[in-house]
Amino acid sequence: MELGKWKELDEKDFLKNFKNEFYLKEGVLYLDGNSLGLLSKRAEKSLLESLNDWKECGIDGWMDGKHPWYTLSEELGKKLSPLIGANPEEVIITGSTTGNLHQLTSTFFKPSGSKTKILADELTFPSDIYALKSQLALRSLDPGQHLIRVKSRDGRMIEEEDIIKAMTDEAALIVLPSVLYRSGQLLDMKRLTDEAHKRGILIGFDLCHSIGAVPHQLSEWNVDFAFWCNYKYLNAGPGSVAGLYINAKHFGKEPGLAGWFGSNKDKQFDMNHDFVAADTAGAFQIGTPHVLSTAPLIGSLEIFEEAGMDRLREKSLNLTRYMMELIETELAGFGFTIGNPRDDIRRGGHVCLEHDEAARICKSLKENGIVPDFRAPNVIRLAPVALYTSFEDVHEAVQRLKKIMGEKQYEKFSNVREVIA
């Protein structure tokens, strides 16, 4: 491959100006946006505006100010809904990823008769498994017997055929990732939803590693529910408030975990002990919104509206494809394996680079001004995020990695992860 190809690719990049929206350190190549996205100037602005609403309005900030707090979660749900192909009333910004999974499982897992099992996969993010095990235990069901985890054939990916085969008459609920957090495999959500519904099983997806990087059509696909964080590709900041989706066909269903912010807005301050739920996804809120942890999403979603999800996906695929091509040509002979799918329709937003010395290579990358992400036992995740990564950045990152490997700079580090991988 021509090493100068990045120049041509950057010249044609229709999203290149968005890089100026973000705070980037000079000389540092940030390739960890699939773990924590960078701060944008607009997210900073909206956070400061909400802080000022508190400063100037006090308690009146619930209804007044630049971004009134009382309906902020609903308003942001509307703005985010195009990113996942949902109707505005089907989306709410609330809670945390795992907290929302607890809410959704409490609501939709109704074991009865022989249908007492939850279907997941063995490669999913551990927090999801912890939550599902907890929900089973709360119902006095043994997780060892009632949580089915579909096996991976190669330790990297889960085949849809194997998931479908596991959709037995005993399954009451299915919870799967849209994109596997290690390998970056993108599951066929439409196919899996269709197959689940043929068998009378409810199905939901963890969108943490796809939202903001991959377009979705949840309403069209008839997905029952979904949940996600907003701090990865959506750049809403560490610990930012998460989100959930409820298909409109489930409106009116009693939330498994009721709380006053799930109330019908006209009834909420009646202070009646009889819960009157909202007739939208807003019913699945529990407590008072964390306004200052929500506010950065206001500015961030403005950027996504301007950039367009389809264009972001196109650039993301081009970036990861270019990175893989460079890895194969420039890093041949250094012991690397690309562990993510090559096909565009099966690949999320990051490259999964495998190496026996992955932990120490990541440390050397950071020393050389590249921010990667390590996942045990041998994965270096590299995420060239479309909004703030150029093709030149990708080229430069591979050249620095080539130098690290050629000079064996990584050997001075231990091959064990840091506390935060």
- On whether 143 is known to bind a ligand per the annotation, the reply is no
- On whether 98 is known to bind a ligand per the annotation, the reply is yes
Tokens found for residue 363: 């440390």
- On whether 288 is known to bind a ligand per the annotation, the reply is yes
- On whether 67 is known to bind a ligand per the annotation, the reply is no
DSSP codes, 92-108: EE-S-HHHHHHHHHHHH
Phi-psi region of 335 (alpha: psi -120 to 50; beta: other; left: phi over 0): left
Is beta strand 370-371 parallel, antiparallel or unpaired with respect to 225-228? unpaired
- On whether 206 is known to bind a ligand per the annotation, the reply is yes
Helix axes 296-307, 72-84, angle to 10 degrees: 30
Rounded to an integer, what distance in angstroms lies between the CA atom of residue 42 and that of residue 302? 8
- On whether 46 is known to bind a ligand per the annotation, the reply is no
Q: With beta carbons less than 8 A apart as the criterion, state whether 50 and 76 touch.
A: no
Q: Which of 70, 53, 68, 65 lies closest to 285, judged by CA?
A: 70
- On whether 337 is known to bind a ligand per the annotation, the reply is no
Strands laid side by side in the 91-93 sheet: 91-93, 243-246, 225-228, 202-206, 171-177, 117-121, 147-150
Tokens found for residue 385: 């995020």
Half-sphere CA count of 316, side-chain side, radius 13 A: 30
Tokens found for residue 318: 């081009």
**Based on the number of CB atoms within 10 Å of its own CB, is 272 exposed (0-12), middle (13-18) or buried (19 or more)?**
exposed
The length of the chain, given as a count of residues:
421
Strand, helix or coil at 203? strand
* Tokens 């749900």 sit on residue: 77
Which residue ranges make up the annotated binding site for pyridoxal 5'-phosphate?
Answer: 97-98, 125-128, 206, 209, 231, 260, 288
Which residue ranges make up the annotated binding site?
Answer: 97-98, 125-128, 206, 209, 231, 260, 288
